[in-house]
Amino acid sequence: MRKISSNKSIVQLIKFILGKFISSLGNSMYNFGISFYILSKTGSAKLFSINLAIMIIVNIITTPLSGYIADAGNKKKIIVCSQIGQSIFMFILLLTIYIKGFSIICILVTNIAITFLNALSTPSLNSTLPNIVHPNYLQKINAYYNMTNSITTLIGPIIGGVIYTLFNVKIIIVLFIISFIISGIIDMSINFSLFKKDIYNTRNLNGHIMKNFNYGLKYIKGKIVVFRLIILSMISNFFSGIILVGISKLVIEHFKAPSYVMGSLEASFGAGLILGGIIIGTIRKIKQPLYIIKFSLLLYALIYISIGIIILLYNDYNILYFYLYILSLLMGGIISFINIPIFVYFQENISEHVRGRIFSVIDLLTQLLIPLSYIISGFLFDTNYYSLIFLTSGFICLFLVLLILNSQFIKNQNNHHSIK
């Protein structure tokens, strides 16, 4: 029986990862291609920024609705219909460009539509993974899914740039449509309730959408471990903005390094994410995730402190670049060991009937902190106290991790779990 479950899980896992790889690659190529298209046609950084801002705003606005739909509807239909819908809107954009040429309004409307549809299906996707594979494969599917996103984020712009140079943006749009159609067909062949435990029920789904969103918040408050892990996710996301802004300003403005240097650091970080995903996907299921999460977060904080010390000790560009390259690689791997165990814990310990709303709350909270982090970081690093800012950030992060995931709390939770 276990072998049958294992074989089915492997088939489901392969289908899921293949489908997500194809659609993510198409999406990554499009995001690069359309951004380049806007800049090349208008020369306006404002329109480029507006396009990015609109996508973030649509994501935030859609979040309460997406969680409600994930818990109330059929997750498979939501995911597949989202992909079909995005393909249709992209086909309309393709026709418009072919007939009328460049149209910024049409591009913005299309981007709003596909961002809305993607945001609408994200909680459904994240909350349904425990139903696709056996619990023993949940860590693997999350690790490989995370790795797939990292790979496509790295290679998508490269492939998109080559295609845009050799052909035009219309070919990129065609590839987007094809990739989402193929991904939709693969998703239709996946059994989204093969390992479903709970009998589907729609309790607490009556009333206004925001009331249901608030129910998700109340549910989180009643789950102390989930609540603390969400707080830690928010903290790590906030500090990620500090390192992104800080390193960019240090490398590009302070040392006047060429753009490819920053690109290589980002590639190193991406390689770390991929390596981390491979390791987590290969090793046995993590038995005590809270210890792994705590240890990884402490290493995360120590990297900030290390950057601060290195900046303090060395003012040589070549030495600093070498250390930053290694630390970027390590940070990518460490983030995988933070995010994947947290997601697996959520998926295993949040009830089926509320999982969609919880993931929508998580998405909203993390998205809200990222722009705030960028703004604060911008003001802080304009003072040029790079070392002090990194050291302070590292020690604050270290203190918060030790406070929120203190040894006694983890011990109590592990004892409670073993009794259950």
**Is residue 8 assigned to a domain?**
no
| Final residue belonging to a domain, choices 190, 225, 245 | 190
Which pLDDT does position 377 carry in this prediction? Answer: 86
DSSP letter string over 250-301?
Answer: IIIIIS---HHHHHHHHHHHHHHHHHHHHHHHHSPPPS-HHHHHHHHHHHHH
Number of domains in the chain: 2
pLDDT at 285 over 80: yes
DSSP letter string over 187-215?
Answer: HHTS-TTTT--SPP--TT--S-HHHHHHH
What is the CA 345 to chain-centroid distance, rounded?
16
Same domain, 348 and 392: yes
Question: pLDDT-derived band of residue 185, with 50, 70 and 90 as boundaries?
Answer: very high
pLDDT per residue as tens digits for the range 334-369 = 999 999 999 999 988 888 878 888 888 888 877 777
pLDDT at 92 over 80: yes
Short-list 326, 332, 5, CA closest to 146? 332
**Is residue 3 assigned to a domain?**
no
Answer whether 349's CB lies under 8 Å from 220's CB: no
pLDDT per residue as tens digits for the range 130-142 = 999 988 899 999 9
| Final residue belonging to a domain, choices 190, 222, 241 | 190
**Is residue 2 assigned to a domain?**
no
Which pLDDT does position 207 carry in this prediction? Answer: 58
- Please tell me the distance from the alpha carbon of residue 319 to that of residue 372, in angstroms, as a whole number: 31
pLDDT per residue as tens digits for the range 154-173 = 898 889 989 988 998 999 99
Same domain, 329 and 225: yes
Instruction: Return the number of other C-beta atoms located less than 10 Å from residue 52's C-beta.
Output: 12
Which pLDDT does position 419 carry in this prediction? Answer: 47
**Is residue 304 assigned to a domain?**
yes
Which pLDDT does position 3 carry in this prediction? Answer: 60
**Is residue 200 assigned to a domain?**
no
Same domain, 236 and 358: yes
pLDDT at 53 over 80: no
**Residue 211 vs residue 4, higher pLDDT:** 211
| Final residue belonging to a domain, choices 157, 190, 223 | 190
What's the CATH number where 53 sits? Answer: 1.20.1250.20
The sign one gets for the Cα dihedral 212, 217, 222, 228 is: positive
**Is residue 88 assigned to a domain?**
yes
Same domain, 398 and 272: yes
Same domain, 225 and 114: no
* Dihedral of the alpha carbons of 229, 132, 73, 70, in degrees to the nearest 10: 20
Same domain, 395 and 325: yes
**Is residue 60 assigned to a domain?**
yes
Same domain, 152 and 183: yes
pLDDT per residue as tens digits for the range 384-414 = 899 999 999 999 999 999 999 998 888 888 7
- Please tell me the distance from the alpha carbon of residue 344 to that of residue 83, in angstroms, as a whole number: 25
pLDDT at 51 over 60: yes
Short-list 87, 89, 84, CA closest to 107? 89
Same domain, 157 and 226: no
Same domain, 149 and 272: no
Which pLDDT does position 22 carry in this prediction? Answer: 96
Same domain, 260 and 370: yes
**Is residue 233 assigned to a domain?**
yes
Q: Where are the alpha helices (DSSP H) in 102-203?
A: 104-132, 138-166, 169-188
Structural domain containing residue 275: 213-414
Same domain, 407 and 298: yes
Q: Which residue has the tokens 């996103």?
A: 149
- Please tell me the distance from the alpha carbon of residue 253 to that of residue 40, in angstroms, as a whole number: 25
Same domain, 259 and 400: yes
Considering 84-98, 114-128, 222-236, the range whose residues carry the highest mean pLDDT is 84-98
